[in-house]
Structure 1
């Protein structure tokens, strides 16, 4: 393929549209969460991921798994955890079976904030998708997102 190859151009245009959709959605949700809950999209995402942990086999995530789930580097995830821990929303403790491992749990205050913020997140997501659906370049991507049935 060359730089002027139509397939490459179409691929680049598709990527740009996907990136634009993501950016618009994230910015809309960010504004809503900040305004109503003093919470960033990344903080909300981290609380949401960690709130789904359980005490069963494989129920607690290692920091690398958490970082992958929130799409951040391990160092950025650690800083985010520290920030939320300082706010009393998370707590860390040593893994009972491997003293090198550190687990992170959402505190009751963190669970309350997450529960309060979830409707805001969901409404902002719906609003952002509805707005993007009006854009002819983004509408096909919105339909794909809406058709996904990803298990929680």
Structure 2
């Protein structure tokens, strides 16, 4: 297995564990009501999915590669509109975002270590569309990696 695939797997395992632990702590502390608990459970499931995909990828399993591509593809979009908001990442993120308002603003940020799930049927009044560049690059690595 190449060094890049190992790094992708380790990032998924560590980020998935980080997200899993955070979601469990929030659930145990009783934060939020109905909708917030549902988002926490979805975050817990997504983090677990990323962690399992990373473990299978590290073991060299073909299923792990497919699951890792799915997990990374789910981390690529960054959407925040008045009607829908979605962004998810585990391990690290490098989002490139366009903020639409009176002026269009281009924003590039990064966060390591990090995990987050933003999922809502509402959002900010100023729309934001973007991509998680790190997830996109890692997805491309997995897509075109030759074993």
- Given the two structures, how large is their TM-score scaled by the length of structure 2? 0.28
- Given the two structures, how large is their TM-score scaled by the length of structure 1? 0.27
